[in-house]
Structure 1
Amino acid sequence: MSSIPVQPFLTFPVWPQHGTEEREGLLRVLEQEGWWRNGGSEVDSFEREFAELHGAHRAIATTNGTHALELALSVLGVGPGDEVIVPAFTFIASSLAVQRVGAVPVPCDIRPDTYCLDVEAAARLVTPRTKAVMPVHMAGQIADMDALADLAETAGVAILQDAAHAHSARWRGRRVGEFGTIAAFSFQNGKLMTAGEGGAVLLPDDETHHDAYLRHGCGRPPGDRLYAHLTQGSNFRMNEFSATVLRGQLTRLEAQVALREERSRHLDALLGQIPGVVPQGRDERCDRNSHYMAMVRLPGITQERRLAVVDALIAHGIPAFVAFPPVYRTAGYFQGPAIGDVDEIAKRCPVSEEVGNDCLWLHHRVLLADTPVLDRLAEVFADVLAAR
């Protein structure tokens, strides 16, 4: 039995990061008259700044990313009896949000290179009940928005971008808010900008923005004093504290994404030289990848061995995680509206089956490290894989 050679414990930039912007903003909110969105201006300002950065008409800030998806689905009119095509390989929130509005998520296979939705496979799953297709921009790699636009036109379905990983990403020079579709973001603790929790929905026009505003505040219009609940909804409102933190986070986002772009190419080249390691591929039409995760596959590895590799990387100071399983391989998936069984769905999602079994990922803060640290990371990674 071989052992891993002694390596120095690696250190990476901390996450989340904060500075004077967040500190001053929190004090500003603390001293203002109200702490909810109707008592101040931080949420309004954040929505305006976030929409502007992403080229969207308007934005609505929400309590978290899952609620952002639920709100977006409600605005699209998705409900009981409808189907929404979702990637089989994604965090469970993508399918869970569909179920929470009473609709059926239909898992679709992914591409073996980018791990994004396979649009040709999605086209085969469209039925008269299909209301929307929800691509996930996996780890910051934008899904094929050209093919999705064609699918939306020919099949008459809406496209809802799950952009939880894609802050400031671009596809052929176009920002997430410039496709004329609704997009949902997350600001959970590990995301590329964060307030611990939080979310946002980008809206393409005044009509969808007005509808989203009503629905995120229990159906009440702006300035309502008469409890005029004009539509169905819930309380998805972001508070002023979260909004001011996110305004501070927004000031660093562009520089951090640019640095991750540079560092990711360096790290992928190093990891790709290790036998048995296959980094996530890239569609170069995504000319700005925000790199929420550094993802790699270890084809042929067992799930037990994969977990051991992750534990060994963590022991060396590397923030590593196993990738999520296909959504249909979770108990929670079948506790909501669903069609088919595990074996039936798995048969049409062979790539998701493989990636769900052999993929692992590194937290995006590793891509904020200097290149010598990334060189050592690759050395440790190779030693861990070689050890038995």
Structure 2
Amino acid sequence: MTTPGTPPVFPEWPQYGDEERTGLVRALEQGQWWRIGGSEVDEFEREFAAHHGGGYALAVTNGTHALELALQVAGVGPGDEVIVPAFTFISSSQAAQRLGAVAVPVDVDSDTYCVDVAAVEAALTPRTKAIMPVHMAGHIADMDALDKLSAASGVPIVQDAAHAHGAEWAGRKVGELGSVAAFSFQNGKLMTAGEGGLVIFPDRDGWDQGFLRHSCGRPPSDRGYFHKTSGSNFRMNEFTASVLRAQLGRLDEQVATREERAPVLRELLAGIPGVVPQGRDARATRIPHYMAMFRVPGIGEERRNALVDELVRRGLPAFAVFRAVYRTDGFWETGAPDTTVEALAERCPNSEALTTEGVWLHHRTLLAAEDEVRRIPEIVAAALESI
């Protein structure tokens, strides 16, 4: 029985066990600690691709590099435009900007927080070289409409799937959606080795180009330093891959638990006056729930931040959500569109609202026992009353 006022009990994150220890020792004792000569990265790529419905997986150093590499293989370069959601972590835009391209932010859907397809279509120009939907908190963007738009325009899709490990859209896994997808394994992600990333290419040619560019342009069998393309060193090491192989083994069970808990939490949060939880597209047949998100319309940034602090004080791992990318200094340093913050804000009202109204709870809250999950809305309601 829970004592009144006692903070809820949530699992720690990251989670690990003997599987990770065994993998690290296996990587250590094989005698080759980088991917050329080792086997852990190769095996992880094969296992991750199979788990996500196919394609060709290429493991890299982190999720930001995964996006940058995916865009480079898509042919994105100086002066090109890449359409990104305004509401996302800034890696989505910076991956394009670091290639010399211009990041073009567009608004997101007010319910799912994924990119608004009509806004994407309106932003297309002859300079558009890629469309980057972000599967926000594991909710897959409207891939049906995006695929149609891509086919009609000839502009390829590069999915930012940093939150979407194990996700499915209309019964199809991410590797079955027919476009490039980039994942992250940063410390807070749904599977992690502290850092790490991966790109799923739908065809072998994309993987081959990606391999060259992630390994300084050098083919895997090269002994004479014949670098075929430009590139950088984005190679994942063997220790990281060994941990991620163990993490992948836990993914299905963890996603199933979060899918079971999320509807309970969403319904109870929706019952709190003034609280609007993130919605769910019925076509999203499996959501891994990277964070449980909600907003409090009209609360304003100062009170929202106070709410987050109060939730943390009461034992909830709560955070303010991402700031719209154009409301950061870093966005404007290079590769910014020829416009102003005010003009972008006017075109992106939903991203503006989320910047000041959004809250998310760490996904480990959805791995807790159901009675602990049911305590979360009580704490949110009490915190709202107290600020």
TM-score tier (shorter): over 0.9
Q: Which amino acid aligns with 1:318?
A: L
Following superposition, the deviation at residue 122 of structure 1 comes to 0.5
Residue correspondence of structure 1 range 180-219 to structure 2 within 5 A: 180-219=178-217
Q: What is the CA–CA distance in structure 1 between the aligned matches of 2:314 and 2:248, rounded to whole Å?
A: 31
Q: Which amino acid aligns with 1:73?
A: L
Following superposition, the deviation at residue 348 of structure 1 comes to 0.8
Following superposition, the deviation at residue 10 of structure 1 comes to 2.1
Following superposition, the deviation at residue 359 of structure 1 comes to 0.4
2:176 to 169, 175, 178: 178
Residue correspondence of structure 1 range 85-100 to structure 2 within 5 A: 85-100=83-98
Q: What is the CA–CA distance in structure 1 between the aligned matches of 2:291 and 2:7, rounded to whole Å?
A: 21
1:41 to 21, 39, 42: 39
Q: Deviations over 1:27-73 (max 9, x none)?
A: 11112211111131000000000011111321100000000000000
Corresponding position: 1:142 with 2:140:
yes
My pick for the range that moved more, 53-62 or 104-113, is 53-62
Q: Post-superposition, which runs of at least 4 consecutive aligned residues in structure 1 deviate over 4 A?
A: none
Corresponding position: 1:102 with 2:100:
yes
State the identity as a percent.
Answer: 62
SS in structure 2 of the partner of residue 200 of structure 1: strand
Following superposition, the deviation at residue 211 of structure 1 comes to 0.3
Q: What is the CA–CA distance in structure 1 between the aligned matches of 2:150 and 2:65, rounded to whole Å?
A: 24
Following superposition, the deviation at residue 356 of structure 1 comes to 1.2
Corresponding position: 1:221 with 2:223:
no
Q: Which amino acid aligns with 2:274?
A: G
SS in structure 2 of the partner of residue 85 of structure 1: strand
For the aligned residues, what is the CA RMSD?
1.0
Q: What is the CA–CA distance in structure 2 between the aligned matches of 1:220 and 1:317, rounded to whole Å?
A: 50
Q: Which residue of structure 2 lines up, in the alignment, with residue 3 of structure 1?
A: none
Following superposition, the deviation at residue 257 of structure 1 comes to 0.4
**Partners of 2:301 and 2:355 within 8 A in 1:** no
2:303 to 302, 305, 308: 305
Q: What is the CA–CA distance in structure 2 between the aligned matches of 1:208 and 1:188, rounded to whole Å?
A: 24
**Partners of 1:7 and 1:380 within 8 A in 2:** no
Q: Which amino acid aligns with 1:366?
A: T
Residue correspondence of structure 1 range 35-74 to structure 2 within 5 A: 35-74=33-72
1:127 to 81, 102, 125: 125
Q: What is the CA–CA distance in structure 2 between the aligned matches of 1:337 and 1:366, rounded to whole Å?
A: 38
**Partners of 1:268 and 1:279 within 8 A in 2:** yes
Q: Which residue of structure 1 lines up, in the alignment, with residue 270 of structure 2?
A: 272
Q: Which amino acid aligns with 1:193?
A: M
Following superposition, the deviation at residue 91 of structure 1 comes to 0.4
Q: Which residue of structure 1 lines up, in the alignment, with residue 289 of structure 2?
A: 291
SS in structure 2 of the partner of residue 89 of structure 1: coil
Q: What is the CA–CA distance in structure 1 between the aligned matches of 2:152 and 2:348, rounded to whole Å?
A: 23
Q: Which residue of structure 2 lines up, in the alignment, with residue 18 of structure 1?
A: 16
Q: What is the CA–CA distance in structure 1 between the aligned matches of 2:17 and 2:209, rounded to whole Å?
A: 35
Q: Which amino acid aligns with 2:361?
A: L
SS in structure 1 of the partner of residue 183 of structure 2: strand
Q: What is the CA–CA distance in structure 1 between the aligned matches of 2:12 and 2:90, rounded to whole Å?
A: 26
Corresponding position: 1:328 with 2:355:
no
Following superposition, the deviation at residue 77 of structure 1 comes to 0.6
Residue correspondence of structure 1 range 146-157 to structure 2 within 5 A: 146-157=144-155
**Partners of 1:56 and 1:203 within 8 A in 2:** no
Q: What is the CA–CA distance in structure 2 between the aligned matches of 1:265 and 1:49, rounded to whole Å?
A: 30
Q: Which amino acid aligns with 1:32?
A: Q
Following superposition, the deviation at residue 336 of structure 1 comes to 1.2
Q: What is the CA–CA distance in structure 2 between the aligned matches of 1:279 and 1:378, rounded to whole Å?
A: 11
Q: What is the CA–CA distance in structure 2 between the aligned matches of 1:374 and 1:177, rounded to whole Å?
A: 32
SS in structure 1 of the partner of residue 366 of structure 2: helix
Aligned length: 384
Q: Which residue of structure 1 lines up, in the alignment, with residue 345 of structure 2?
A: 346
Q: What is the CA–CA distance in structure 2 between the aligned matches of 1:199 and 1:57, rounded to whole Å?
A: 16
Q: Which residue of structure 2 lines up, in the alignment, with residue 365 of structure 1?
A: 364
SS in structure 1 of the partner of residue 241 of structure 2: helix
Q: Which residue of structure 2 lines up, in the alignment, with residue 380 of structure 1?
A: 379
Q: Deviations over 1:312-339 (max 9, x none)?
A: 1111221000011100000000001111
Q: Deviations over 1:118-142 (max 9, x none)?
A: 0011100000000110000000000
Q: What is the CA–CA distance in structure 2 between the aligned matches of 1:137 and 1:23, rounded to whole Å?
A: 31
1:75 to 68, 73, 76: 73
Q: Deviations over 1:233-290 (max 9, x none)?
A: 1000000000000000000000100110110001111111111110001101001011
SS in structure 2 of the partner of residue 337 of structure 1: coil
Q: Which amino acid aligns with 2:355?
A: G
Q: Which residue of structure 1 lines up, in the alignment, with residue 109 of structure 2?
A: 111
SS in structure 2 of the partner of residue 37 of structure 1: coil
My pick for the range that moved more, 47-56 or 64-73, is 47-56
Following superposition, the deviation at residue 87 of structure 1 comes to 0.1
Residue correspondence of structure 1 range 248-263 to structure 2 within 5 A: 248-263=246-261
Q: Which amino acid aligns with 1:368?
A: L
Q: What is the CA–CA distance in structure 1 between the aligned matches of 2:315 and 2:386, rounded to whole Å?
A: 17
Following superposition, the deviation at residue 302 of structure 1 comes to 1.7
Residue correspondence of structure 1 range 157-172 to structure 2 within 5 A: 157-172=155-170
Q: Deviations over 1:354-376 (max 9, x none)?
A: 11110010000000001110121
Q: Which amino acid aligns with 2:136?
A: M
Structure 1 portions without partners, runs of 5+: 1-5
